[in-house]
Amino acid sequence: MENLIIANKEFTSRLFTGTGKFSSSQLMEETLLASGSELVTVALKRIDLNANEDDILKHLSHSQFNLLPNTSGVRTAKEAIFAAQLAREALETNWLKLEIHPDPKYLLPDPIETLKAAEELVKLGFIVLPYVHADPVLCKHLENVGVAAVMPLGSPIGSNSGLQTKRFLEIIIEQSNVPIVVDAGIGAPSHAAEAMEMGAAAVLVNTAIAVSDNPILMAKAFKMAVEAGLMAYEARLAKPKNFAEASSPLTSFLQDL
Residues within the interface to other proteins (CB under 8 A): 20-25, 44-48, 71, 73-75, 78-79, 82-83, 86, 102-106, 158-160, 207, 210-211
Contact 92, 126 (CB under 8 A): no
DSSP result, 158-219: T-----TTHHHHHHHHHH-SS-BEEES---SHHHHHHHHHHT-SEEEE-HHHHTSSSHHHHH
Q: Closest distance between other proteins and the C-beta of residue 159, in Å?
A: 8
Nearer to other proteins, 52 or 251 (CB): 52
From the CB of 210, what's the least distance to other proteins, in Å?
6
Phi first, then psi: what are they for 118, rounded to 5°? -60, -45
CA distances from 218 to 184, 205, 206 (A): 17, 11, 11
Would you say 4 or 218 has its CB closer to other proteins?
Answer: 218
Nearer CB in complex with other proteins: 213/256: 213
Phi/psi for 114 (5° steps) reads -65, -45
| Contacts with 138 (C-beta within 8 Å, 6 or more apart), sequence order | 111, 114, 115, 132
Enzyme catalytic residues: 97
Query: Residue 126 — left, alpha, or beta (φ > 0 → left; ψ -120 to 50 → alpha)?
Result: beta
Note whether 115 and 139 are within 8 A (CB): no
- CA-only gyration radius of the chain, Å: 20
Give min distance, CB of 255 to other proteins, in A.
Answer: 55
> Minimum Å distance from CB 97 to other proteins?
15
Could you count the other beta carbons within 10 Å of the beta carbon of residue 197?
16
- Using DSSP bridges, classify how beta strands 151-152 and 127-132 pair: parallel, antiparallel or unpaired: parallel
Residue with Cβ nearer other proteins (146 or 156): 156
Q: Report, in Å, the least distance between residue 7 CB and other proteins.
A: 24
CB-wise, 20 or 111, nearer to other proteins? 20
